[in-house]
Amino acid sequence: MERGLDHVVHVVRDLEAAGELYDMLGFTVGTRNRHPWGTDNRIVQLPGFFVELLEIADAEKIPPQDVTRFSFGAFNRDFLAEVGPGLSMLVLEGRDAAIDKLEFDTAGIGGIDLFSFEREGKRLDGVGVKVAFNLAYARDRASPHAGFFTCQQIFPENFWSVDLQRHMNGAQSVVGVVMTAADPAAHTGFLANFAGMDARRAVEGWYILKTPRGDIDVMSDALFTQRFGVPAPSGPGLRLAAVRFGVADMDRLRRRVSSSRMSVEDIEGVVVVGPKAALGATLVFEAAT
């Protein structure tokens, strides 16, 4: 089963500061939501995809990890402590979590219990709605600082909001995500099983998986820096380095980013906000096709 991009997790120390950062860049940022396992989030939506800004809000509520139970809160708490703010998890769309789990277990990248939960969300007008999700986790044992799961929406009509998908910077789609590794070829088998498709080689040290919603690029650290002009996050194994956004009007985007007074790179038609400015993430803006 081919799986498109669903969302990424951008874990930060201060959720309000992260919301202000994305707001300055011209994104519409959702209100704060609370998880029962000690994390809070705010959402930046695009059609079919979102960035989950995440804060460790109450460490005492975080359940521990064990062999078959994945603790979302513990993983992101440890990520923040060990490497600092940044892009911690890549999430693909799930249509049936039980099937995803079976495929991951069969491929040797699973062995983790399914997880289901629900919470109350809020629309921009403050009206509460019920949202619920089924999650199936995968793991690349060589990549301790990259988390992977699929997300099956139970009430998608309550989650997705056209109003949240209107952005002053003109962002209108996810083009893809970029992962980095010292040896990208060593991780293409895992990613092929996770995404349900083969990775194709672009050049030496660069592989691409073209999912139904956005690309997954896997680059060597050197190629990433050459392409985007900023350092790659350090390993070991895979790291989620960047999110690529498609925008309707690049001149409008440049004016918006310029008004934020952030340090940016303008390289071969793409605008890059690097990890020093973007709380450990690299945010890439390019013309939508």
Whether 176 and 236 map to the same domain: the answer is yes
Rounded to 5 degrees, φ, ψ at 68 are -110, -10
Look up residue 44 and give its two tokens: 């930046």
Going by C-alpha positions, the residue among 114, 115, 111 that lies closest to residue 141 is: 111
Task: Give the single-character DSSP code of 263.
Answer: -
Whether 283 and 199 map to the same domain: the answer is yes
Look-up of token digits 């925008």: 247
Q: What pLDDT, on the 0 to 100 scale, is given for residue 104?
A: 98
Pairing, β 115-122 against β 128-138: antiparallel
Query: Do residues 134 and 145 make contact, with C-beta atoms less than 8 angstroms apart?
Result: no
Q: What pLDDT, on the 0 to 100 scale, is given for residue 208?
A: 98
Whether 158 and 175 map to the same domain: the answer is no
Q: What pLDDT, on the 0 to 100 scale, is given for residue 127?
A: 75
Q: What pLDDT, on the 0 to 100 scale, is given for residue 123?
A: 67
Q: Tell me if residue 209 falls in helix, strand or coil.
A: strand
Query: Mean pLDDT, 10 residues at a time, over the chain (289 residues)?
Result: 96 98 96 93 97 97 93 98 98 96 98 91 74 96 98 94 95 98 97 98 97 98 96 95 97 90 85 96 95
pLDDT tens digit string along 139-175?
999 999 999 999 999 999 999 999 999 999 999 999 9
Look up residue 36 and give its two tokens: 């029962």
Task: Give the single-character DSSP code of 222.
Answer: H
Residue 116: CB atoms within 10 A of its CB come to: 11
Q: Which residue range forms the structural domain that includes residue 249?
A: 169-287
Torsion of CA 15, 17, 18, 19, to 10 degrees: 90
Whether 11 and 138 map to the same domain: the answer is yes
Going by C-alpha positions, the residue among 142, 157, 284, 146 that lies closest to residue 215 is: 284
Counting the structural domains of the chain, the total is 2
| pTM of the model as a whole | 0.96
